[in-house]
């Protein structure tokens, strides 16, 4: 819904909460359901309601536990029966500077200040460790905003007795903890409050009357920020840009004005703004975001514009370039097909409001930010929208541009073969398939949350849950890496099963669509069968739960030799495989020992 796209109207969201919730629930039949707890150091009722709206907008339906006022420590450390009953997948700890028990006094010695700092830090560590030990869940923790006054003025930031100095040091300790705990994420309240403006962020009346730690009008901003982290945890981030060219990546119309007259470079304020925007997009590639072009242009003109000597982005920075006179909606669908992702994973960026509206009407689930026609504002709008919120960076993210370019080479090679088996042999594929290891935990968790088409059970896992499965003696875990003569695809498949006696029940089987129809699914099945037999498992049960996106794997178990046991009215199926006499099916991949 457009109401939840940045810049949103906070007053409207606050006043229309109930109506918007009804509309969001009616707009979709399929939500990812999660159990979330909000442990607050201040009043959180409106925060919960707005957070729910933003999560529903992202396709996530939460069931909440909300602590009573300022009971975050007690509920975490001493326990709470209602929280235990929920068994949260995720906990958001909403604290602020007002939850610091002891700030430094001007008469404190350096040792006394350090003792207070360590005491405050350890109090929060005890909260995080209690939650992690009991629930094995993802924890999102606010760092600290700054107070609305400074006793020492600017020196408050430099002197160890200053509150600004104290909170800054505490924030750094929180960050260090996050670096060493993958299931612990920082919600940057410090930056968010500065972005919003401290004078507007703090409302002393709201604190004294209702114990709100921030102004009521700022709550939608906070809820949107937290929701961006949660949707990233559950694989709801966008994956690619579809970018217009004229007056979006550069100023002017390349076909009319000529390359030499385009506004790009450092000559004017306007050209500098376009250059900065191109640099911003180039930086997105480091996160694995795929850049593509959807432009009404002649291809030769588009490529000439990308060859501008002052341009930051070049032809090789883009995976798919659609420069023609076809409807942009058609081009967008073809870009998604070429990338093997859903159109709802794409952010469409175009300065033309008419083109933006056509895409909205054609694809309601595509994100279409209103970037306007002022290039100096493009970065701010995309950044605040949080389409690509980062909760971890894997090796595959860093190499994604290369991976897709390699896939293009594989597609080109395929065109030269009339026999598909011969094509597969020509790739000289090798795989490593083994149980989960720490090196790949982050990527495995990421893959479980990103894979939609090849996901048989639709189950999602946080990294904490992946680590728990790896350490559970009753779980069978496998990851698969695939390489060929063009390069390494990285971790592309994950299987999790739970043993009950002599049977294994498959809870998860996913695979990256980049490696479909290359025998990797058969190589994984062969490895699974071998591991099961070694454990004394005689029967494997598989489950398929249909979604709008995973129809391609409806008959997956049948291809693997399973027998269908049942199917309900909603299309959910149960399958069984007797491992006695199982014959390996992989023909084209050499699996390393």
Q: What is the pTM of this model?
A: 0.85
Cis peptide before 112 (omega within 30 of 0): no
Full 3-state SS string of 166-181 = HHHHHHHHHHHHHHHC
Which of 290-294, 421-425, 442-446 bottoms out in mean pLDDT, i.e. has the lowest? 442-446
Residue 61, beta-bridge partner list: 33
Region at 494 (left for phi over 0; alpha for psi -120 to 50; beta for the rest): beta
388 C-beta neighbours (distance < 10 Å), count:
19
Residue 330 CA: distances (Å) to CA of 91, 338, 405: 41, 12, 23
CA gap 364, 358 in Å, rounded: 10
Residue 468 has pLDDT above 70, yes or no: yes
Crossing angle for the helix pair 219-233 and 189-196, to the nearest 10 degrees: 140
Residue 542 confidence (pLDDT): 96
Q: What angle do CA 489, 495, 496 make, to 5 degrees?
A: 145
- Condensed to tens digits (0 to 9), the pLDDT of residues 528-540 reads 999 999 999 999 9
Query: Matching CATH topology for 240-385 and 422-591?
Result: no
pLDDT for the residue 407: 82
pLDDT tens, 215-252?
A: 999 999 999 999 999 999 988 999 999 999 999 999 99
What's residue 439's pLDDT? 87
Q: How far apart are CA 315 and CA 274, in angstroms?
A: 17
Under 8 Å CB-to-CB from 392, ≥6 apart: which residues? 182, 442, 445, 446, 463
Superfamily holding 2-233: SGNH hydrolase (3.40.50.1110)
Residue 593's pLDDT is: 75
- Cα distances from 381 to residues 219, 239, 375, 386, 531, in angstroms, run 19, 17, 10, 9, 50
Q: What is residue 399's predicted lDDT score, i.e. its pLDDT?
A: 78
Lowest average pLDDT, out of 94-108, 460-474, 561-575, goes to 460-474
> Is the distance from CB of 241 to CB of 281 less than 8 angstroms?
yes
Q: How far apart are alpha carbons 139 and 129 in whole angstroms? A: 10
Measure the CA–CA gap between 410 and 408, rounded to whole angstroms.
5
User: Closest Cα partner for 155 from 106, 115, 120, 109?
Assistant: 106
Mean pLDDT of 307-332: 96
Q: What are the tens digits of pLDDT across the range 56-77? A: 999 999 999 999 999 999 999 9
Count of alpha carbons within 13 angstroms of residue 323, beta-carbon side? 21
- Superfamily of segment(s) 240-385: HAD superfamily/HAD-like (3.40.50.1000)
Q: How far apart are CA 202 and CA 261, in angstroms?
A: 48
As a whole number of angstroms, the distance between CA 532 and CA 541 comes to 12
Q: What is the pLDDT of residues 174-186, one digit of tens each?
A: 999 999 998 899 9
What are the residue ranges spanned by the domains of the chain?
Answer: 2-233, 240-385, 422-591
Which H, E and C letters describe 478-529, residue by residue? EEEEEEECCEEEEEEEEEEEEEECCEEEEEEEEECHHHCCCCHHHHHHHHHH
The contacts of residue 235 (CB under 8 Å, 6+ apart) are 446, 448, 449, 450, 451, 460
> What pLDDT, on the 0 to 100 scale, is given for residue 63?
97
- Comparing 374-388, 432-446, 498-512, the range with the smallest average pLDDT is 432-446
Assign 3-state DSSP to the chain and report helix, strand, coil percentages, each to 5.
Answer: 45, 20, 35
| pLDDT tens-digit series, residues 549-581 | 888 899 999 999 999 999 999 899 999 999 998
Over 80: is that where the pLDDT of 29 sits? no
pLDDT of residue 451: 65
The β-bridge relationship of strands 429-434 and 475-484 is antiparallel
Query: Do 39 and 92 contact (CB within 8 A), yes or no?
Result: yes
pLDDT band at 398 (very low <50, low <70, confident <90, very high): confident
> What is the pLDDT, as a whole number, of residue 549?
80
The CATH number fitting domain 422-591, selected from 3.40.228.10, 3.40.630.30, 3.40.50.300, 3.20.20.450:
3.40.630.30
What's the rounded Cα separation, in Å, for the pair 366 and 335? 13
User: Is 396's pLDDT higher than 80?
Assistant: no
Whether the pLDDT of residue 450 is over 90: the answer is: no
Over residues 281-285, mean pLDDT: 95
Residue 516: pLDDT band (50, 70, 90) is confident
**Could you give the CA distance from residue 211 to residue 205 in angstroms, rounded to a whole number?**
9
> According to the model, what pLDDT value does residue 1 have?
80
| Closest C-alpha to 243, from 125, 303, 131, 323 | 323
Q: What is the four-CA torsion angle of 191, 194, 200, 204, rounded to 10 degrees?
A: 70
Spatial CB neighbours of 583, under 8 Å, sequence gap ≥ 6:
none
For residues 585 and 97, give the distance between their C-alpha atoms in angstroms, rounded to a whole number: 60
What SS3 state is found at 6? coil
As beta bridge partners, residue 566 has: 574
Q: What is the per-residue pLDDT across 320-374, written as a single tens digit (0 to 9) for each?
A: 999 999 999 999 999 998 888 889 999 999 999 999 999 999 999 899 999 999 9
pLDDT band per the 50, 70, 90 thresholds, residue 445: confident
């Amino acid at each position: 819904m457009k109401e939840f796209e940045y810049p949103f109207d906070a007053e409207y969201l606050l006043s229309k909460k109930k109506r918007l919730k009804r509309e969001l629930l009616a707009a979709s039949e399929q939500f990812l359901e999660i159990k979330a707890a909000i442990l607050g150091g201040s009043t959180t009722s409106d925060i919960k309601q707005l957070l729910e709206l933003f999560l529903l907008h992202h396709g996530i339906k939460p069931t909440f536990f909300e602590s009573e006022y300022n009971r975050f420590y007690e509920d975490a450390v001493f326990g709470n029966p209602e929280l235990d009953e929920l068994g949260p997948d995720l906990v958001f700890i909403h604290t602020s500077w007002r939850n610091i028990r002891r700030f430094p006094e001007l008469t404190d010695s350096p040792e006394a200040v350090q003792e207070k700092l360590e005491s405050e830090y350890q109090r929060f560590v005890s909260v995080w460790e209690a939650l992690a030990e009991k629930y094995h869940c993802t924890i999102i923790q606010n760092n600290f905003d700054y107070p609305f006054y400074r006793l020492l003025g600017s020196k408050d930031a430099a002197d160890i007795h200053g509150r600004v100095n104290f909170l800054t040091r505490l924030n750094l300790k929180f960050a260090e903890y996050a670096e060493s705990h993958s299931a612990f994420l920082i919600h940057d309240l410090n930056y968010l409050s500065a972005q919003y403006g401290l004078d507007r962020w703090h409302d002393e009346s709201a604190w004294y009357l209702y114990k709100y730690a921030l102004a009521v009008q700022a709550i939608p901003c906070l809820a949107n920020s937290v929701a961006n982290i949660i949707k990233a945890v559950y694989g709801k981030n966008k994956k690619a840009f579809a970018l217009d060219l004229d007056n979006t990546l550069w100023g002017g119309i390349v076909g009319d004005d000529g390359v030499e007259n385009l506004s790009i470079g450092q000559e004017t304020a306007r050209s500098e703004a376009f250059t900065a925007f191109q640099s911003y997009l180039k930086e997105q590639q480091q996160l694995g975001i795929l850049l593509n072009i959807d432009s009404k242009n002649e291809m030769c003109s588009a490529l000439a514009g990308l060859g501008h000597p002052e341009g930051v982005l070049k032809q090789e920075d883009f995976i798919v370039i659609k420069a023609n006179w076809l409807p942009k909606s058609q081009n967008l669908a073809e870009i998604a097909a070429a990338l093997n992702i859903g159109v709802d994973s794409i952010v469409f960026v175009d300065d033309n409001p008419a083109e933006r509206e056509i895409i909205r009407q054609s694809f309601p689930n595509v994100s279409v930010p209103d970037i306007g026609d002022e290039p100096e504002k493009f970065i701010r709008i995309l950044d605040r929208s949080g389409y690509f919120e980062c909760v971890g960076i894997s090796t595959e993210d860093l190499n994604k541009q290369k991976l897709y370019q390699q896939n293009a080479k594989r597609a080109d090679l395929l065109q030269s073969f009339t026999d598909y088996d011969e094509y597969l042999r020509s790739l000289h594929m090798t795989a490593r398939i083994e149980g989960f290891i720490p090196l790949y935990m982050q990527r495995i968790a990421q893959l479980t949350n990103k894979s939609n088409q090849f996901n048989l059970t639709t189950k999602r896992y946080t990294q904490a849950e992946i680590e728990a499965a790896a350490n559970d003696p009753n779980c069978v875990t496998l990851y698969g890496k695939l390489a060929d003569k063009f390069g390494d695809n990285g971790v592309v498949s994950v299987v999790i099963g739970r043993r009950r006696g002599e049977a294994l029940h498959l809870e998860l089987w996913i695979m990256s669509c980049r490696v479909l129809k290359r025998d990797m699914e058969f190589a994984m099945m062969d490895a699974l069968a071998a591991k099961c037999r070694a454990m004394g498992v005689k029967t494997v049960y598989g489950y398929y739960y249909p979604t709008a996106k995973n129809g391609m794997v409806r008959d997956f178990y049948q291809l693997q030799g399973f027998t269908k046991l049942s199917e309900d009215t909603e299309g959910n199926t149960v399958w069984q495989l007797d491992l006695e006499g199982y014959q390996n099916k992989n023909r084209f991949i050499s699996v390393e020992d």
